[in-house]
Amino acid sequence: MTATRARAGFAVDQKLILIGLLLVINVFFSLASPHFFAVSNYFNILKSCAMIVITGAGATLLMMTGNFDLSAGSNVALTGVVYALLAQAGVPLFAAGCIALAGGTAFGLINGSLVGWLNVPPFIASLGMMYIGRGLALVVSDGSVIVDRIPPSMLRIYQGTLLGMPYLAWFIVFFVAVFMVIQRRTLLGKHALATGGNRNAAFFSGINTGRIVFVLYVIVGALAAFSGILTAARSGAGDPRSGNQFEFDVILAIMLGGTRLQGGKGSVIGTLLGALVVAVLDNGLNMLNVLTFWQSIVKGAILVMAILLNEKVMAGARKRGLARASA
Amino acid sequence: MKKILLAALILSVAVAALVLVGCAKKTDEGYVGGKPTYVVGHIVYTMEAQYHQGIAKQIVEYGKKMYNAKVIVLDAQGKDEVAMSAVENLIQQKVQAISLHYPNTGLTTAAIKMAREKGIPMVTTLIRPSERIAPHVQPLEGPSSQMMGEVAAKQWLAAHPGVTCRVFILDFGKFPQIEEMRTGAFFQGVKNVDPKAVLVGQLNGFSSTEKSMQITLDALQKEPRINIIFGGNDEMGLGALAACQQVGRGKMKDGVPLTEVIAGLDANISAMAQIYNPNSSFKLTHGAVRDNAIAEMDTMIGMITGKIDPKKYAETQVLSREFDYWNSTMEEAQRFLEVNYLFTGSLKDEVAKAAK
Amino acid sequence: MSDEILVEVRNLQKHFPGVRALDGVSFCIRRNTVHCIVGENGSGKSTFIKTLTGAHQRTAGEILLGGRPFEPRSVGAAIGSGISVLYQELNVVDDLTVQENLTLGKEQSLLGFVRKPRGLEAVKEILLSLDPSIHLGDMVGCLSVAQKQVIEIAKAVSTNCSLLIMDEPTAALSEQEVGRLFAIIRKLKERGITVIYISHKLAEVFEIGDVVTVLRDGQVVDTLQVAEISRACRDVPESCLRIVRLMLGKVVVETYVPRPSTGPARTLLEARNINNTKLRGVSFELAEGEILGFYGLVGSGKTEVARVLYGIDEYEGEILVKGARRDLRGVRCALGAGFAMVPEERRADGIFAGLSVRENIPMMRIGSILAKGLLSRGKENALADRYIASMSIAVRDREQKVALLSGGNQQKVVISKCLNREAEILLMDEPTRGVDVGAKHEIHEIIRSLASKGRGIIVFTSEMPEVLHLCDRIVLMHEGQVGEIVANGSPAANSDHIMSVVAGGR
Amino acid sequence: MTAMVSSAGRRRSMDVQKIILLAILVGIFVFLSLAAPNFFAIRNFTNILMQVSVIVMIASAANLLMITGNFDLSVGSVLAFCAIMHAYLTKQGMPIWASILACVAIAALWGVFNGVMVGVLNVTPVIATIATMYAARGFAYLIARWDGGANITAGLPQNFAEFGRTMLFGQVPIIILFMVVVFAVFFFIERKTPLGRFSYAIGGNLSAARLSGINVVGVIVALYVLVGALAGLCGIIQVSRVGAAFPNLGQGLEFDVIVAIVLGGTSMMGGEGSLVGMLLGALVVGLAANGLNLFGVQYFYQTITYGVILIGAVLIDLAVHRKA
């Protein structure tokens, strides 16, 4: 039967494009810049996109249900500030981290309740929370960077390494793995896909779609909070202005990875690849000492190209009868 | 279909590549003996502001001329993550020294330490890091800001005896050091002249002329008696001016303030053109571009050659030159612009145009 | 045992603002029977189902399930108590495999991890017994409508439901598939499952039903034993019309009346040797004032012909309109060439549900309501009223949202929209699908009158009665080729011959 | 849960939402007139209108676009691009009228670019317009740089700067006139022209629209062009108001626009919405901002209020529906 083949083919193709794209730009940069092709630099790249991947891993599942979270960036800032404030107040870092995490999770909880239970459109709910969160971050920090009396050990999460690999890289591996499993092997993953694929079907199968969405928002909130802690750890300070436009980088990575805004099929790996493409571009372009304004233009071009190729693949998949060919 | 994919892929990547090479090329020529003696990095808080672009240009120019040094300029785009990966990026590119301007004081400290581990000395500028462990270049903004405040108040009171100074300030949203060196100092200056002076309001102008205009409009609505406005940088000052003119104010008669006095900061061309226009009420600014850049460059080279101890906090202070309609001549301004902003035109003409 | 009452409905009431959708419905459903519910669109059938399955909360009355009062608060609750529904819009997830769909919502899991479901053999067995051509690993997105239905049925069965409700399950099926579905329903009966079967098609009621309840305007007209009626039919054919009369209050008997041909008609359309991925060497002609029927099983290529003529699919070959060769690339050139189509999927491709009747009708020829290049409300209203009258569309007023109309009236709106195009050649893909008997009759009348006005009409249908009643000539499709073209009324135009052609090519 | 019920519900919601917005508007209004200093004054109302004018102008076109189920995140960047372009050209001595035409044309081209990507190549609007957003902003900075700075301020013809601040009858800033005109035009388009009707059709049922022979691609491209052109025009107006061109003009504008539209009851899925609702939405936001500035509230709290209004408005709306 063609069906199974079609499915496999589809999945592979789409990843292949990103992988191919990655290879090409990697080769290009390696040739163009003497400093690019080095383990340490790849660690830099991983570090620079760690937060995006970590949050994106969960957000991918959320987008598979047809929802998204614009408040992630504000959550990052708020959590970071709270974390720093607690640390400043002398709370042991671990405890402070837990409290901050709880706070960020609560943030996701509100998002989840608004969208999952009260049926507020995700755009409005999370955009509103984006403003509120940003505002709160500025209020609690009184708009200034929280840095005095912060124990230097805070930096360790960001700068430390394990077996020669930065913690952040390990985190990427860990979270991507976890959420791959969740996506492929768990009820949550299946039901998320069902919710986005055909809400009625999910509903009639007795799946509580509201709860799925709610849970995923909470998860994304927690992940964003964790990213917030990492952000604070990066500078050893809580900056209420950090994580600005973070949510876009996340959504961009997810969509590059081939997950549709409308929900349905999606893949965590795709998100990882998408984030890497952007990160490698940023890093490489800086290596080539390209003027920042050109960088943004090139970035735009590459984005469109990647999506175009995705579309082509989708179309191909459709031709092979994956989706119902409609006029 | 596969063919189409491949073709599209290769084609578009190729195009992108060409663009890159195209703009990467031109930075790498004109060094004595074909290659630079030193390679250093300079991280800009954001290339959006004319002031910061100005400094960047100066460092590149001066570095090349003076030390045959190549300066890699990276833009932090006002984002922590970008700033940090910029530092990592420079370390990766094995530069010999880095100069960094970023308002997150914690991040700058962390960056200094990170670079130091890799044996790369770093100098900070404009915003002092949270820990004073490395050389720092600081324009003396405080005194100049205060002086501007005094001049503004004097001029206002001279023209309107007995009318208390009502000050409105546009800032970047509460940065302590900005408070200390710019907004606070300015208001202090006003108070020195007019003890009864009141601060009507201080709001974030997001260093955008557009937003500053809107906010100033609201401020003037709230308190029409505002008569001294200070913009945390020239962009905001111009916004304030635009707002005043929108509501039929912003006027002077041969330097005699009719409606209010506006001050900015950075001393860039657009500000100067208004300052020497006898009819507009934007009249004061101050700034240091070239000297700041020179100090940064010298410090970096000094640290590389071992003349300066990269682990010791030493503040190189540069004068932030104050300009106003009453106490500084257009010729001085012309020279300042030429030196600092590589200005090639003639200020006189600009003013003439603006005054039309 | 089989006489035991499974569901008893007593004076069920459901009121919506302004409407009494159900107005005191009472009847019994016996265990292990196929209980048909018939009635026009808007007679309250779907409302009844929704109340029974907890999608709606009843206003008054009571339902007894197996003797005990039954008050489903939610769809979940209804499923829990063994009631499953097969809705018209299929509720399967295309992105999941057959197996994942079958187990969706009741996966065995350990700490949230999906386990290899244990009861799989059971499901597999059910699926096999229903349709062996479906494999557990297939992506549901690649299956046909019928197959998706089977999956839903299998799912219902595997949730060991005792009552399965089918809401017009044959709407999207070809006769062959209908046959298979009925076989499945019989199997279900063997499994001791009671089926509530909702349909417009009396033939189906006779074939599969045990008991039939007739609804009209939210009230029960009568509940009858199908066996009795059919016996009656055998004895006195007229009494066969009794049930029809019950349903409509008026009699509809359709038989083909060859219309007097007004001399040698001009050829409107000529297709020569059309080929594409699905079609092989299709050629036919359409004369002015002719109703040409395309009949065939699903996959026989009749829909593909429609798509080619309407410029949706690519093709090789020649298409001449009034003798002039036209190259149909894209819907807009097809429209330009004088075609207009009533699409098969009314909801998906036909109506603008959110817009009013007034706004829907002029969509295909906005020019018809323009005055000096601007929309003229006056013209628009006039146009809408004209069609509401001529098509006797049942609406509150022309401002009513099409979404709120019954299926039949929605279809009429779609047809009006198409007619307003004033095209010479009308392509009608399943023009009466999901339309009640009364509306069906009216639509047929409309088609005939259009033909008599000299339009050329091509009807693509999977209902043999429709072809036989309506069309002057019938193109029998088989595996993408024209099997045979029979003139209606000729001896060749009998169901046996037709079936043999479409099924076997010869 | 069937298409019928939900869509019916949404249609009803439209008017309800407008009423709610109106209520909120009046509420804020009354509160401010009582509490805020100098709020209740003609000049302040012109002031508020002046501040929402750019948003309203662009949103007038963007509203129709969103009714088709698409949106444009690049308006802010295109605005900046045209602002800089215009400044650059006039500085090079091009006559103002010519430069205006040229810039609006270029802005329209950005629109074509978006429209083709979305309408023809089926790139999802998010990615397509974000890409344009990056590109246009990038070029804006580059042009400024080629001119030798981070912005173009010096050397602009002064009389043009004056023009943007002209007061009609000494009371009404001319930009408000522009706003009224643009709004009226699009009100007309929405109600009276095929373009408006087709937008609803496309948003309501894309495939039905195609099969009805509506030129879907044409409509979408046309709307993107209109949005782009208006963004460009606003850019030029801003230059003339501010008296200088900055590449960071219109930052975050795309959001203010979308928020105004969505607050006004246009669904992001398309198919429904109205210009009047959008205007109310924009006014709510503008009024709130103005009030908070009058109180001299730090922008920290302003952002919070912004979010609360957004969510609050929708929640009230939903609550009302629960009852209805």
DSSP character string of D172-225? EEHHHHHHHHHHHHHHHHHHHSHHHHHHHHHHH-HHHHHHTT--HHHHHHHHHH
State which residues form the domain around D224.
43-250
pLDDT of res. A4 = 37
Cross-chain residue pair A301–B81, CB shorter than 8 Å? no
Chain C residues in contact with chain D using a Cβ-Cβ cutoff of 8 Å: 55, 89, 310, 331-332, 335, 341, 343, 347-355, 359, 363-364, 366, 370, 373-375, 401, 403-404, 417, 421
Q: Domains along chain B? A: 33-134+290-319 (3.40.50.2300), 141-286+326-354 (3.40.50.2300)
Residue C101 identity (one-letter amino acid): N
Neighbour subunits, B (≥3 Cβ pairs < 8 A): A, D
CA distance C122 to C136: 12
Strand C5-16: give its sheet, edge to edge: C19-30, C5-16, C60-65, C68-69
Neighbours of C4 (CB within 10 A): 10
Cross-chain residue pair B176–A316, CB shorter than 8 Å? no
Cross-chain residue pair C348–D271, CB shorter than 8 Å? no
* Cβ-Cβ contacts under 8 Å for A42 (sequence gap 6 or more): none
Residues A167-211 have pLDDT tens digits of 999 999 999 999 999 998 888 888 899 998 888 888 877 788 899
Å from D95 to nearest chain C CA?
A: 35
Chains B and C touch each other (3 or more Cβ pairs < 8 A): no
Cross-chain residue pair A251–D126, CB shorter than 8 Å? yes
Residues of D in contact with A143 (CB under 8 A): 298, 300
Taking CA atoms, what residue in A is nearest to D211?
A327
pLDDT of res. C22 = 85
* Cβ-Cβ contacts under 8 Å for C179 (sequence gap 6 or more): none
Neighbours of B270 (CB within 10 A): 30
**Between residues 29 and 88 of chain D, which touch chain C (CB distance below 8 Å)?**
none
Residue B14 at interface with chain A, using a CB cutoff of 8 Å: no
Residues of C in contact with A321 (CB under 8 A): 141-142
- Cα separations (Å) of D192 from A19, C38, C421, D66, D185? 50, 44, 20, 18, 10
Residue B344 at interface with chain D, using a CB cutoff of 8 Å: yes
Task: Tokens for D237, please give them.
Answer: 């107006």
Q: Which of A92-96, A320-324, D10-14 is least confident?
A: A320-324
Å from C414 to nearest chain A CA?
A: 16
Tokens 């929405």, residue located: D190
SS3 state of residue B198: strand
Taking CA atoms, what residue in A is nearest to D263?
A124
Å from B25 to nearest chain A CA?
A: 9
Q: Domains along chain A? A: 2-316 (1.10.3470)
pLDDT band at A45 (very low <50, low <70, confident <90, very high): very high
Among candidates A248, A294, A250, A301, which has minimal Cα distance to A274? A250
Average confidence (pLDDT) over B105-111: 91
Chains A–D, number of C-beta pairs less than 8 Å apart: 128
**Between residues 219 and 248 of chain B, which touch chain A (CB distance below 8 Å)?**
none
D197 lies in some domain: yes
Tokens 């949270």, residue located: B130
D260 lies in some domain: no
Residues C125-148 have pLDDT tens digits of 888 877 778 888 888 888 877 888
* Cβ-Cβ contacts under 8 Å for B249 (sequence gap 6 or more): B220, B259, B260, B281
Cross-chain residue pair C93–A7, CB shorter than 8 Å? no
Cross-chain residue pair D159–B247, CB shorter than 8 Å? no
Cross-chain residue pair A304–D123, CB shorter than 8 Å? yes
Neighbour subunits, C (≥3 Cβ pairs < 8 A): A, D
SS3 state of residue D55: helix
CA distance B193 to A84: 41
- Checking if the pLDDT of A62 tops 90, the result is yes
Nearest to C112 among A2, A188, A326 (CB): A188
Taking CA atoms, what residue in C is nearest to D272?
C354
Residue D159 at interface with chain A, using a CB cutoff of 8 Å: no
Neighbours of B352 (CB within 10 A): 14
> Which residues of chain D are modeled with pLDDT < 50?
1-12, 324
D289 lies in some domain: no
Q: How many domains does chain D have?
A: 1
Residue D227 identity (one-letter amino acid): V
Residues of A in contact with C77 (CB under 8 A): none
Residue B71 identity (one-letter amino acid): V
D319 lies in some domain: no
D174 lies in some domain: yes
Cross-chain residue pair B221–D248, CB shorter than 8 Å? no
Distance of CA C259 to the CA centre of its chain: 28
DSSP state of C261: P
Taking CA atoms, what residue in C is nearest to A195?
C93
CA distance D188 to C112: 56
SS3 state of residue A206: coil
Average confidence (pLDDT) over B260-266: 94
Residue C263 · residue C254 · CB < 8 Å: no
> Which of C73, C85, C142 is the best mutation test for A, with the most CBs of A within 10 A?
C142
Longest CA–CA separation in chain C, Å: 79
Residues of C in contact with A327 (CB under 8 A): 307, 312, 331, 343, 349
Torsion of CA C97, C103, C104, C109, to 10 degrees: -110
Residue C475 · residue C272 · CB < 8 Å: no
Å from B199 to nearest chain D CA?
A: 11
Nearest to A311 among D123, D142, D258 (CB): D123
Residue B62 identity (one-letter amino acid): Y
Å from C379 to nearest chain D CA?
A: 13
DSSP character string of C177-239? HHHHHHHHHHHHHHTT-EEEEEES-HHHHHHH-SEEEEEETTEEEEEEEHHHHHHHHHH-GGG
Chains A–B, number of C-beta pairs less than 8 Å apart: 152
pLDDT of res. C248 = 55
Task: Give the burial string for B46-55 (b: 16+ CB within 10 Å, else e).
Answer: bbbbbbbbbb
Cross-chain residue pair B270–D154, CB shorter than 8 Å? yes
**Between residues 152 and 191 of chain B, which touch chain A (CB distance below 8 Å)?**
173-176
pLDDT of res. B26 = 54
CA distance A265 to B172: 44
Strand runs labelled E in C404-455: 425-429
pLDDT of res. C277 = 85
Nearest to C142 among A2, A186, A203 (CB): A2
Taking CA atoms, what residue in A is nearest to C55?
A204
Alpha helices (runs of H) in chain A, residue ranges in sequence order: 2-32, 39-64, 72-88, 93-112, 122-141, 156-159, 167-185, 187-197, 199-204, 209-235, 246-256, 268-287, 292-319
CA distance B293 to B139: 10
D295 lies in some domain: no
D6 lies in some domain: no
Nearest to C374 among D2, D192, D211 (CB): D192
- Cα separations (Å) of C481 from C425, C461, D108? 22, 16, 49
Neighbours of C325 (CB within 10 A): 10
Å from A126 to nearest chain D CA?
A: 9
> Which residues of chain C are modeled with pLDDT < 50?
1-2, 250-252
Cross-chain residue pair A150–B79, CB shorter than 8 Å? no
CA distance B321 to C462: 89
Nearest to D127 among A135, A136, A303 (CB): A303
pTM of this structure: 0.87
Bridge-based pairing state of the strands C194-199 and C163-167: parallel
Chains C–D, number of C-beta pairs less than 8 Å apart: 80
Cross-chain residue pair D248–B208, CB shorter than 8 Å? yes
> Which of A61, A191, A203, A205 is the best mutation test for C, with the most CBs of C within 10 A?
A205
Residue B356 at interface with chain D, using a CB cutoff of 8 Å: yes
Taking CA atoms, what residue in C is nearest to A201?
C91
**Between residues 38 and 77 of chain B, which touch chain A (CB distance below 8 Å)?**
47, 72-75, 77
D67 lies in some domain: yes
DSSP state of B34: G
Taking CA atoms, what residue in D is nearest to A308?
D123
DSSP character string of A32-96? H-TTTSSHHHHHHHHHHHHHHHHHHHHHHHHHHTT---TTHHHHHHHHHHHHHHHHHTT--HHHH
